[in-house]
Amino acid sequence: MRSPSGDQVGEISIAEWSPDSQQLVFEADDGSGTKAVYVVALTGGIPQKIHEFESEQAFSGISVSPDLEWVAYIAPAGQGHLQLWRVPMAGGEPEQLTFDPTDKAHPAYSPQGDRIAFTLFNYESIFWLLEP
């Protein structure tokens, strides 16, 4: 995909509306193992790159926090496992949120923004009983 300025942003793998529906947040892959998270206004314009990272994972997912402060994403950590990270929506330093030896995908903020759900790549079925 090319931005209105003509800049190449890569192949978009996933997009998500911001909770206020005024911005679109998307993840793009340049084909060489480098991904980036972008934000573009509903009214259009040039997408703003807020973070770039290395990852071979094709469809790992993103999620925007309800307060519009953070974008959660999945990327490899130092030990090689795909971990949950977040980066400020305005750009800045990423923060690693998980550190265990499992691979993750598909982050999803709760409506209150106090929790993030994600999928584990362990190829097991696990059933949870929720009690009131």
What CATH number should be reported for the domain holding residue 50? Answer: 2.120.10.30
Mean pLDDT by 10 residues, the chain (132 residues): 55 93 94 91 93 88 96 93 96 96 93 92 67 70
| Counted domains in the chain | 1
Asked, for residue 69, whether it belongs to a domain, the answer is yes
52, part of any domain? yes
pLDDT of residue 124: 65
pLDDT at 1 (0 to 100): 45
Let me know if residue 97 belongs to a domain.
yes
How many Å apart are CA 72 and CA 120, to the nearest integer? Answer: 15
Kindly state whether residue 1 falls inside one of the protein's structural domains.
no
Question: What range defines the domain where residue 64 resides?
Answer: 11-120
Residues 6+ apart with CB under 8 A from 8: 1, 2, 30
Instruction: Determine, yes or no, domain membership for 82.
Output: yes
Give the pLDDT confidence score for residue 10 in this predicted structure.
Answer: 82
Residue 106 lies in a domain: yes
Residue type, 43: T
What is the reported pLDDT for 9?
76
Q: Could you tell me if 116 and 108 are in contact, meaning their C-beta atoms sit under 8 angstroms apart?
A: yes
